[in-house]
């Protein structure tokens, strides 16, 4: 029920930016082998509702741009694929498509809450905690219906949301197909989609550097 209400409220996000945007990392986790991971090309995939396609696009593009500053080759899913392209595939087809297109890593971006609460604490969480976290396809299959499925649109009325909690996961989608990194960040009173995306990307890339996944120049 909480997720249902969340996705009903999400479209209001694009309409209610009111103040200066500030993004802050809430918590993060990295696999022990994450710093050793080398990617040729990463797909940045925002799992946000279709009524927030502009927000999804800007968040993907800003993350791609910030990763490029550190030599990471990444592409925004909104530019590379039609919306919900993978939703029309099964796991085998999706993995084959990613591999054929040269991707060996996927970063997912998901809105998981609209306040300051956290669902895990650094050091006490791992990919085995929630079974669907363990692989890209498990995670995508769990969250994608909330973003793109029928019936989850804006229900009308006036909604006031202050803080938005985003979860960012990095998956190795080669034969290993494993979760390497997961971080939660909170955006406080974002003033615009541009400011939200800029602050979000800066926060996540900084943490990827801290965890040794992205190399600082």
pLDDT tens-digit profile, the chain (217 residues): 444 334 334 444 443 444 444 788 989 999 999 998 899 999 999 998 878 888 899 999 999 999 999 999 999 999 999 888 888 899 999 999 999 999 999 999 998 876 644 444 333 344 444 545 667 767 666 666 555 443 333 333 343 545 788 999 999 999 778 999 999 998 876 777 888 899 999 999 999 999 999 987 6
If one looks up domain 2-210 in CATH, what number appears?
3.40.50
Answer whether 154's CB lies under 8 Å from 57's CB.
no
Element (H, E) at 8: helix 2-9
Q: Which residues contact 124 (CB under 8 A, 6 or more apart)?
A: none
Task: Tell me the domain boundaries of the chain.
Answer: 2-210
Which two structure tokens, joined as six digits, stand for 50?
Answer: 């279709």
Q: Which tokens belong to 91?
A: 């796991």
The reported pTM is 0.74
Residues contacting 71, CB < 8 A, separation 6+:
215, 217
Q: Which run of H or E residues covers position 67?
A: helix 53-68
pLDDT number for residue 134: 63
Dihedral sign from CA coordinates of 72, 76, 81, 87: positive
Per-residue confidence (pLDDT) for residue 217, from 0 to 100:
65
Beta carbons of 134 and 179 less than 8 angstroms apart: yes
> Can you read off the two tokens belonging to residue 211?
């965890």
Q: Which residue has the tokens 């909690």?
A: 165
Integer CA distances (angstroms), 171 to 47, 157, 175, in order: 14, 37, 11
Is the distance from CB of 42 to CB of 142 less than 8 angstroms? no
Tokens (6 digits) for 206: 């900084």
- Residue 130, sorted as left (phi over 0), alpha (psi -120 to 50) or beta, turns out to be beta
Closest CA to 42 of 169, 207, 182: 169
User: Would you say 164 and 52 are in contact if contact means Cβ atoms under 8 Å apart?
Assistant: no
- Residues forming beta bridges with residue 47, ordered by sequence position: 110
């Amino acid at each position: 029920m909480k997720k249902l209400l969340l996705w009903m409220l999400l479209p209001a996000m694009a309409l209610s930016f009111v103040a200066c945007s500030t993004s802050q990392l809430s918590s993060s986790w990295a696999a022990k082998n994450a710093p050793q991971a080398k990617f040729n090309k990463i797909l940045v995939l925002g799992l946000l509702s279709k009524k927030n396609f502009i927000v999804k696009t800007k968040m993907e593009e800003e993350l791609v741009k910030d990763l490029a500053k550190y030599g990471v080759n990444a592409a925004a899913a909104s530019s590379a694929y039609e919306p919900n392209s993978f939703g029309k595939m099964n796991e085998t087809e999706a993995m084959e498509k990613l591999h054929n297109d040269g991707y060996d890593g996927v970063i997912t971006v998901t809105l998981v809450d609209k306040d300051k609460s956290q669902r895990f604490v650094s050091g006490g969480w791992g990919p085995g905690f929630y079974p669907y976290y363990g692989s890209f396809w498990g995670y995508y299959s769990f969250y994608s219906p909330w973003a793109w499925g029928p019936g989850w649109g804006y229900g009308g009325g006036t909604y006031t949301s202050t803080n938005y909690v985003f979860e960012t996961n990095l998956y190795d989608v080669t034969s290993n197909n494993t979760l390497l990194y997961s971080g939660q960040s909170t955006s406080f009173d974002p003033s615009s989609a541009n400011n939200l995306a800029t602050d979000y990307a800066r926060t996540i890339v900084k943490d990827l550097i801290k965890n040794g996944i992205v190399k600082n120049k």
